[in-house]
Amino acid sequence: MDGYEALDDYWARTRIMPWQAVRVHFTAVIISILKLVVKPVRALRGRSFNLLAHVEAPKQKIDVLGNKRQEEHGGYYMSEEEVANFANNGIHGPFRVLEKEDAESLLTEATYLFENEFHKTSVLGDEILKTLKETGDYSNNYLSLFQGSRYRRLWDILVSRQVAHPMESLLGDDVLCWRSQFFEKQPGQEGSFWHQTGTFRESDKKPKLDSSVPRHPAIVQLNLWIALCDTDKEKACLRMLEGSFKDSRFERITLNIQDDIFGFLLSLPYSEIVKTLKTDWYTMGNFKKAQLVYEHIQRKVPSVFEDIRIRDLEMKAGEAVIFTSLNTHASYSNSTSDKVRMALSGRYTRPDVHIFKHESITVLPTKGGGMPYDVSKEPAIPVSGSATHPNTDNNIAEYPPR
């Protein structure tokens, strides 16, 4: 799972603003002093920080929810064998969704939309866009969030039969796409760090998805990832620990740290407190935070990442995979000097899953600190069958005018 710059090296070459450094060190000093008193008191009261709290027993195969199969229904539905493989590995494909020419023209369209349209329809708001410009993070990765419900070209692909049928085979007859995004890697840009997420809490206080009925955690939602250009190890292809949904300790530990960040900080030496605060407060997105947790796990519970099987998903333009994001996944950096890597991603779920039920403010972590934005009204794209369910009250998108 190596091939990434260690976080210590990243911080050795990365400067934060002087006031940010003062805030970090001031807080780290306070925590180091409190540690002398609070840590023993918490221990006496049986409330010491526990990295492995709430760890669940390993899960078995995914309980697939759909029953339409290629053998009976034809179309693009999955075969019995493909569904059985998915239940065991948590990934389907690569399979073709777009012709090469259509994928490449979508890449051109992605650039056009980014340069001319997305800032007008972005969910992020002016303050965040301004900060992204200031910190050099103004990119399609963030501006494209949730735009699938606003542009026909994106909508049509996200609901196409090539996508909807396999989703129905896995999720059932009723399917929604609750979030969409381009994943862009500019030449020289680092890869997406390894991460595992079942219900998309990310930097929020509550998960964004909440199933109204008990469900295998690996199938509350599924990801679609379409390569819009050829991708390989040099050009930022996707990487997956197949079947790793069975062991959810990586996400569990991440949540334990988020839920008791103070307790976690109390368990660390000064230099680690500083690194944790800097990474938590002043890095863009969630990947550096995932790396912080990953490096901590490597030191404290190395068994989490033993006996793993990495699959490098080198894909041609127009090919796609469907996977559970409880499968730990990542991407290589883009080590080409002149080629952009672009992928279109959609996230799919069922109408009986509450989307943004908790309406907690979503936070976009930026180098200027966490910035709130409102997703609670973001409508889901209806993909197949019925879009609504008596248990939930999800907003459903109308076909966009353009």
Ligand X SMILES: O=C(O)CCC(=O)C(=O)O
Q: CB under 8 Å to 288, separation ≥6 — which residues?
A: 7, 10, 193, 279
Q: Tell me: does residue 192 bind ligand X (CB under 6 A).
A: yes
Stretch that binds ligand X, among 148-156, 290-298, 304-312, 324-332 (CB under 6 A): 324-332
Contact status, residue 324 vs residue 218, Cβ threshold 8 Å:
yes
Provide the residue type at 216 as one letter. H
Q: How many positions of this chain bind ligand X (CB under 6 A)? A: 10
With tokens 């053998």, the residue in question is 71
* Cα–Cα distance list, 315 to 77, 100, 171, 180 (Å): 21, 11, 24, 20
Contact status, residue 326 vs residue 198, Cβ threshold 8 Å:
yes
* Minimum separation from the CB atom of position 345 to ligand X (A): 4
> Cα(57)–Cα(78) distance, rounded to whole angstroms?
30
* Minimum separation from the CB atom of position 235 to ligand X (A): 11
Q: Output the CA torsion sign for 207, 212, 218, 221.
A: negative
* Minimum separation from the CB atom of position 318 to ligand X (A): 16
> Cα(110)–Cα(122) distance, rounded to whole angstroms?
14
For the chain, give the longest Cα–Cα distance. 67
Binding residue for ligand X (CB under 6 A) from 89, 147, 345, 366?
345
* Minimum separation from the CB atom of position 232 to ligand X (A): 14
Binding residue for ligand X (CB under 6 A) from 329, 350, 354, 367?
329
Between 235 and 278, name the residue whose CB sits nearer to ligand X: 235
Buried b (16+ CB within 10 A) or exposed e, 162-196: bbbbbbbbbbbebbbbbbbbbbbbeeebbbbbbbb
Residues 234-273, one symbol each (x = binds ligand X by CB under 6 A, - = not), give ----x-----------------------------------
Between 24 and 240, name the residue whose CB sits nearer to ligand X: 240
Between 140 and 331, name the residue whose CB sits nearer to ligand X: 331
Coil, strand, or helix at residue 243? coil
Coil, strand, or helix at residue 361? coil
Q: Tell me: does residue 349 bind ligand X (CB under 6 A).
A: no
Binding residue for ligand X (CB under 6 A) from 183, 294, 348, 356?
183
Between 289 and 329, name the residue whose CB sits nearer to ligand X: 329
* Minimum separation from the CB atom of position 286 to ligand X (A): 9
Binding residue for ligand X (CB under 6 A) from 196, 331, 366, 394?
331
Stretch that binds ligand X, among 10-18, 30-38, 167-175, 325-333 (CB under 6 A): 325-333
Between 279 and 328, name the residue whose CB sits nearer to ligand X: 328
Stretch that binds ligand X, among 101-109, 165-173, 255-263, 323-331 (CB under 6 A): 323-331
Instruction: Choose among 344, 302, 282, 271: nearest CA to 113.
Output: 344
> Cα(86)–Cα(324) distance, rounded to whole angstroms?
9
Between 31 and 353, name the residue whose CB sits nearer to ligand X: 353
Supply the DSSP symbol for 235: B
* Minimum separation from the CB atom of position 259 to ligand X (A): 22
* Cα–Cα distance list, 297 to 34, 49, 247, 303 (Å): 25, 14, 14, 9
Contact status, residue 313 vs residue 237, Cβ threshold 8 Å:
yes
Between 279 and 345, name the residue whose CB sits nearer to ligand X: 345
Q: Output the CA torsion sign for 271, 275, 276, 281.
A: positive
Binding residue for ligand X (CB under 6 A) from 343, 364, 383, 397?
343
Between 185 and 275, name the residue whose CB sits nearer to ligand X: 185
Contact positions toward ligand X, by CB under 6 A? Answer: 183, 192, 223, 225, 238, 325, 329, 331, 343, 345
